[in-house]
Amino acid sequence: MTSHGVEWFESWFGEEYVALYPHRNEAEAERAVSLIERTLGDARISRVLDLACGSGRHAKFLGHRWWTSGVDLSDVLLRLAKKNGVPARLVRADIRDLPYRTESFDLVVNLFTSFGYFETDDEHEHVIRDLRRVMTSGGVFVIDYLNAELTRKSLVPRDESVVGGKNVVQRREISSDGRFVVKHIDIETDGRHFIERVRLFSRAELEGILTRAGFHVEQSFGDYDGAALTNESKRVILFARKN
């Protein structure tokens, strides 16, 4: 563990996050992992890294197929994964400082927009370069990201709901520089406020990051069922092989 200062994701992905989102969609997670398995086909996969694994929603299904390690910064989410019996070796670390040896994994996945959280693009590019380091020759990296243009077009500025008996107001905006989608979460019952901020990387920008880090993108999909990637796709799913 190294210090990068206190950042928004350190306070948000804790007890409040678990309370507000207690049941993320496991069926969706299984579809995502099944897509990966089908796309890889007969490729030999011995060791898998779930990068920013959270509570282990995807690591659960990855671990049923391959030996898996999950890494995340949130102690709360990792404890929940352990409590739920996720079949993976769970490691607490900042993904900017991966605690793994060179050429440890045949497959690295980063799913459900668990990227784009940092202030600078240099930090994001560093993550991709370092995950390449921990991958074997010819290994595959899968990133599952939001569709930035669709997010801009379909942004819901505000909604209000009652979750676990608490009144929750969520406000969304695009940052003034156009680079981030920002969500303000107000738990009015408790008077608490949290922020989510995700970089709006376009498909071309993601592919550029991957190329500069030493990958080439082989396949792309627009959803977990394997549909073609278009401007209207809900997801941007890229399969990139280490050069």
87-139 pLDDT per residue, tens? 999 999 999 999 999 999 999 999 999 999 999 999 999 999 999 999 999 99
Q: Burial of 206 by CB count in 10 Å (0-12 exposed, 13-18 middle, 19+ buried)?
A: buried
**Which regions of the chain does DSSP assign to beta strands (E)?**
47-51, 67-72, 89-92, 105-110, 135-146, 158-163, 166-174, 180-187, 192-199, 215-221, 235-242
Q: Residue 83: its pLDDT value, please?
A: 94
The two structure tokens encoding residue 43:
């490729």
219-233 pLDDT per residue, tens? 999 999 999 999 999
Q: Residue 81: its pLDDT value, please?
A: 94
Q: pLDDT-based confidence at 4, cuts 50/70/90?
A: low
Least reliable range by pLDDT among 45-59, 124-138, 141-155, 183-197: 183-197
Question: What does the pLDDT average to over 34-57?
Answer: 96
Q: Burial of 143 by CB count in 10 Å (0-12 exposed, 13-18 middle, 19+ buried)?
A: buried
pTM of the entire predicted model: 0.93
Q: Residue 6: its pLDDT value, please?
A: 63
Q: pLDDT-based confidence at 140, cuts 50/70/90?
A: very high
Q: pLDDT-based confidence at 7, cuts 50/70/90?
A: confident
Cα distance between residue 128 and residue 8, in whole Å:
21
Q: Residue 23: its pLDDT value, please?
A: 58
How far, in Å, are 120, 155, 182, 199 from residue 117 at the CA level? 9, 18, 11, 6
Is the pLDDT at 1 greater than 70? The verdict is no
Cα distance between residue 237 and residue 243, in whole Å:
19
161-214 pLDDT per residue, tens? 887 788 999 999 999 999 999 999 998 888 888 899 999 999 999 999 999 999
Q: For the chain, which residues make up each domain, given as ranges?
A: 8-146+202-242, 150-196
> Distance of alpha carbon 162 from its chain centroid, rounded?
26
CATH number corresponding to 8-146+202-242: 3.40.50.150
Q: Residue 22: its pLDDT value, please?
A: 60
DSSP bridge partners of 40: none
